[in-house]
Amino acid sequence: MGGERHNFYKEIHKGIRTLAHSVTEQAGRTDFGDAEEVARLRQAVERAFAVFESHAAHETAFITPVLQEYAPSLAAESDAEHRAQELRLRDLRAALALAAGAGERAPAFGHAFVVGLSRFVGEMLVHMADEEERLMPALQAALDDAALLGIHQALLASLPPEEKAQSVALMLPALNAPERTEMLAGIRAVAPPAAFVAMADLARRVLPPAEWSRLERSLAAAA
């Protein structure tokens, strides 16, 4: 789009940033003395953490080996950060479980979890910015767009349908209008008609009505 090099981080990172901000805000609003609110937060946290872990695992499987060949120091740094994130998520799960069962001390333990989560999210945002500002340029310098697209397509092909739909549902509300059109038009160009219809229906469900209408018009114009 607009002469940009292929960047397989861009769209998914937008979705993850939105998700990370959302769960952090929910944690801050949670009354840790209310068991129902805490239960809802634990569900939201587990959904978000599962996305963070899956994203890191896909990067490790498909992107790290390429980085090891062309930018080994960056690959080692990124891999170490992924391992550290995994441990931090484990600790945050334990901290939230502790807050959920802390009785009168729940508000204090809950706030400690909120602060810890906000620190983790801040560090993850820096990590993702590094991937786009340091790792992606290194790969772009070493590989042409066809090769970069091949890596991205291999990663996407590895996703089961449910995870692929979850990723699209995460990304679409976080993208701008031209990016949404590009994504859905790209799916329409390569996927069976039924698969495109399913993705369009997903877009209709996750986008506000006015934004879905704009996307529908753009797809019709691009047909």
CATH number at residue 3: 1.20.120.520
Q: Could you give the CA distance from residue 190 to residue 195 in angstroms, rounded to a whole number? A: 10
Statement to judge: residues 130 and 204 lie in one domain: no
Statement to judge: residues 90 and 44 lie in one domain: yes
Task: Return the DSSP state at 6.
Answer: P
Statement to judge: residues 167 and 147 lie in one domain: no
Q: In the structure, what pLDDT confidence band is assigned to residue 69 with cuts at 50, 70 and 90? A: very high
Q: Which pLDDT value is given to residue 100? A: 95
Statement to judge: residues 81 and 139 lie in one domain: yes
pLDDT averaged over every residue in the chain? 95
Q: Evaluate if residue 2 carries a pLDDT over 90.
A: no
**Domain end call among 128, 158, 188:** 158
Q: Which pLDDT value is given to residue 71? A: 97
pTM for the predicted model, two decimal places: 0.93
**Domain end call among 136, 158, 180:** 158
Q: Which pLDDT value is given to residue 1? A: 43
CA-wise closest residue to 131 among 3, 2, 30, 10: 10
Could you list the residue range(s) of the whole structural domain that residue 202 is in? 161-223
Statement to judge: residues 132 and 169 lie in one domain: no
Statement to judge: residues 192 and 128 lie in one domain: no
Q: What is the pLDDT of residues 6-47, one digit of tens each?
A: 999 999 999 999 999 999 999 999 999 999 999 999 999 999
